Amino acid sequence: MKRYLPFILIAAVAVITAVAGTLFYHAKSEEARQAAAAEVLQIAPGTKPGAAPPHLRGDRRAPVTIEEFADFQCPPCGLLAGMLHQLEEEYRGRLRIVFRHFPLDGHKHARLAAVSAEAAGQQGKFWEMHDLIYQHRTTWSTADDARPLFTQYAESLGLDMARFRADLDNPALIARVDADQERGHSVNVSSTPTVFLNNQPVPPASFSPPALRTLIDAALAAPSPTP
């Protein structure tokens, strides 16, 4: 046994070093994510920040930000989501889309849908689940129990299903949904979809690709604010 003791000690030190390194890496990664989140939006005084980091499509350094408050069970939200994705691709590098949860009380499965997207996000698949939930909205929104359907969508994405099922009841993910909704209330959101472009409200009459392009182009042409 004594002859193997040095090797055991070396192995133990290696394991401890690896664990410490992993913890340090995750701490720095979380710090970097929080810093990146702070750059996404200029939060107006007196308003809530929402979940951090927020869900973002596009370059986080893009000069134009569209912040969308949406309910997965809301039909117009699904239509708008497709438009915004198309516009983000058209304006690649110049436009970023921030998604905020705002499940409405009258929609039976909207909150579970939001948490399901968050649970997928824990495994790097938020936007894929976001798109699937909207794609199948007419199916799960009329189901008595939508949980098996969201689980089915997660399986189709190749997620770790034990982790996904556990995350559907994860208080931290429920808190992310609540944080987005609190931000919505703080900026006077009362219905979905509600959209802000560079923190300025976009009227529902402009929820079409041509009208949104006009607003984006105007924002891109506007002079940068002086420091």
Name the percent of the chain lying above pLDDT 90. Answer: 76
Residues, the chain: 227
Query: Beta strand pairing status for 55-58 and 194-197?
Result: unpaired
Q: What CATH number does domain 55-221 carry, 3.40.30.10, 3.60.21.70, 3.30.2310.20, 1.10.3720.10? A: 3.40.30.10
Domain boundaries, the chain: 2-40, 55-221
Separation between Cα atoms, residue 224 and residue 227, nearest integer Å: 9
| Segment 46-79, tens digit of pLDDT | 889 999 999 999 998 999 999 999 999 999 999 9
| Segment 201-211, tens digit of pLDDT | 999 999 999 99
User: Looking at 13-27, 33-47, 60-74, 156-170, which range is the least confident one?
Assistant: 13-27
**pTM metric for this prediction:** 0.80
Separation between Cα atoms, residue 42 and residue 187, nearest integer Å: 13
Tell the burial category of 181 from Cβ atoms under 10 Å away from its Cβ (0-12, 13-18, 19+): buried
pLDDT band at 121 (very low <50, low <70, confident <90, very high): very high
The residues, any chain, with a CB within 8 Å of residue 220's CB and separated by 6 or more, are 63, 64, 94
Separation between Cα atoms, residue 157 and residue 168, nearest integer Å: 16
